Amino acid sequence: MSKKIYLANFYGFSAQQKELVLPHIISKLKYLGAKVWEPFERNN
């Protein structure tokens, strides 16, 4: 059973974070078997 991780902060992520930081974090979490849910990604 995989875990779902809610990846967010209060104001969403900046363009720089989305480009440079989040892909690395998300790929590592997925490698560990987690499903990543970033709610602001669905609102844009």
Model pLDDT, residue 44: 54
**Which distant-in-sequence residues (6+ apart) come within 8 Å of 30 by Cβ?**
36
Residues forming a β-bridge with 5 = 36
Of 38, 13, 14, nearest to 27 (Cα)?
38
Q: Which amino acid is at 42?
A: R
Quick: pLDDT tens for 15-43: 888 889 889 999 999 999 999 987 766 65
Which tokens hold the place of 32?
């560990």
Tell me the whole-structure pTM to 2 decimals: 0.73
Cβ 8 vs Cβ 44: under 8 Å: no
Range of the domain at 28: 4-43
Structure tokens at 7: 């990846």
pLDDT at 8 over 90: no
